[in-house]
Structure formats: C-alpha cells, structure tokens
Amino acid sequence: MANIAFLGTGNMGIGMASQLIKAGHTLTAYNRTASKAAPLAELGAKIAETPREAAQNAEVIFTMVGDDTASNNVWNGKDGVLSGPITPGILAIECSTLSYEWVQKLSKNLIDHGLSYLDCPVTGLPTAAALGELTLLIGGDVETLAEAQPFLTPISNNQILFGPIGSGTAYKLIVNLMGSVQIAALAEGMLAAEKAGLNMERVAETLRSGACGSPQVHINTPAMVSGDHEKDVLFSAKWRLKDTDYGYKFAQKMGTSSNLAKESLKHFQKLVDAGFENSAGSKVIDVMR
C-alpha cells in the first residue's frame, strides 16, 4: 500500500479518491473548496490545506482538476506541490482534461524534477468513478504504466494505452470535441423538427433508436424536449466550452480544417456568455433559437 496525494475532489475526483482508500491506500486530499473533500475524511483520509501539504511524504500524486489554470496552481502556485521539497521517483498521474500544449509542458517540468509522469485522462460519469469503473485514456511508457497498476486498477475497469505522454490527452480532446459537435448538430436537428411541427417526444425517441443514436443523443434529447437544462447536470456548459476550446486548438495544431469545431465553439461560447455556465450543454439549443 502507498501514501497517495489526491488533488481535486470534485464530482469525479471524490469517487476516484474513495476507491483508492477502499483499496487500502493511505490518502491525503486537497480541494480548493475544502468542504468538497470532507466526505473523504469519514473514510479515513487526511484533508490538507494546500497541495504542498498534501504531497508531503506522498509516493503517488493524482490530480483531477478543471483546467490548465487549476493544474498550474496545484503544481506551480505559491503553495503548489513544487514549492516544497520533492522526492525523486514520485509517480504523478494526471487525470484532468487539459490542453495538449500544457500537458507537454507540465510533464517535461515534472520529469525534470525527478517525477515519473502518466498522462491519464478519464472517461465515464461520476457514478462510474464512485464504482471504480472508469475508462482510462493513457499516454506514457509501459514501465510507468506497470508501476501505476496498483493505483489505476481500483479506479478503472478499462485501460487504453494510446502511446507516449500526451497521447491520452490527444484522444480525450478529440472525442470530447466530437461530442460538442454532435450536441450542436443535435440541437440544429431538433430545432428543424420543432419548426416543422413534428411531435418532439417521437422525434427524440426515434433519434435515440436510429442510426444517429449516439450516447450524446441519448443524454441530450430529453432535456432538449423538456427544456429542463438545470436538473441533474452531469457536465456543465462551462466545462463543455473549455473542452471544445482545448479540442479546437489541438485540431488546429494538428493542421485540420476544424470548421465544425469552430462553429460548435461559437455556440457554446454564446451559451456561457449568456450566463448559463452551470446549465447542461443541452441548453445550447436555446441560444441557437
């Protein structure tokens, strides 16, 4: 068993950290809003006031934060992990969805400090995180991946190695960008059906069971029909916009035309600018009306 620092205990991180504790590891958690980490204390975790404190004596550091800025803060901030002494050989497992450029920069910095690094964004809902059933999208070398197995197995039921560091993030940005394009396309289609006077419940049901019935269609059609974009929000517009932005920039870096991505980005930007950052991404249908 190992001493683990877990930085970022939001909707996904709380379940992941819980599984690591249940697996027998000793865990110290840090979250910017400390109350969100409080449930872990009931499972035996220590709650730290800063990332630096959480990382003291850690053999493994997990990070599960919202964006590049939050990642920079937990590692390089005034009270970040790197503001204190670092023991060479610590394993850093980055599970956040970050920009491709930042992952390249961050991983180099941590490796230069003597840490091992695994690029490990996840896919799955908070319920899957709480059950230890996430899919891990991994970039790194096979030796580091093997070393990490005692810590990855408790949080996942599927692990996919895409290649070297950055590969996991590349795939995550691609698939999340495709999801954003699908949601925007769904909204356009639903609006056309609405204007045509079709029975919208029937449209949604038929879309879900037809050739276009992707998981995004299944998740978003009910809210687009009911107009309730505030109930049980699994992935808010704020984070949808962030992932679309990171994905669009990655696609540009790879030299693709990115026209569909650019249009989707515009729609989600309008949604957030209109004050709906905490609503579900399905609410994009309203700004497209």
This prediction's pTM: 0.94
pLDDT > 90? residue 192: yes
Return the percentage of the chain with pLDDT > 70, whole number: 100
- Mean pLDDT over each residue of the chain, to the nearest integer: 96
pLDDT > 90? residue 234: no
CA diameter of the chain: 65
Give the per-residue pLDDT at 180: 97
HEC per residue, 214-239: CHHHHHHHHHHHHCCCCCCCCCEHHH
- What distance in Å separates the CA atoms of residue 22 and residue 267, rounded to the nearest whole number? 42
Instruction: Read off the amino acid at residue 59.
Output: E
Structure tokens at 203: 């449209």
Q: Could you report the per-residue pLDDT of 131-161, keeping only the tens digit for each?
A: 999 999 999 999 999 999 999 999 999 999 9
- What distance in Å separates the CA atoms of residue 160 and residue 173, rounded to the nearest whole number? 15
From the list 224, 162, 215, the residue with the least C-alpha distance to 193 is 224
Mean pLDDT of 218-230: 96
Per-residue confidence at 64, pLDDT binned at 50, 70, 90? very high
Q: Could you report the per-residue pLDDT of 25-62, keeping only the tens digit for each?
A: 999 999 999 999 999 999 999 999 999 999 999 999 99
Place of tokens 């877990």: 6
Per-residue confidence at 289, pLDDT binned at 50, 70, 90? confident
Per-residue confidence at 284, pLDDT binned at 50, 70, 90? very high
Cβ within 8 Å of residue 72, ≥6 positions away = 102, 106
Give the per-residue pLDDT at 275: 97
Give the per-residue pLDDT at 201: 96
Q: Could you report the per-residue pLDDT of 251-272, keeping only the tens digit for each?
A: 999 999 889 999 999 999 999 9
161: phi then psi, degrees, rounded to nearest 5: -90, 120
Q: Could you report the per-residue pLDDT of 161-186, keeping only the tens digit for each?
A: 999 999 999 999 999 999 999 999 99
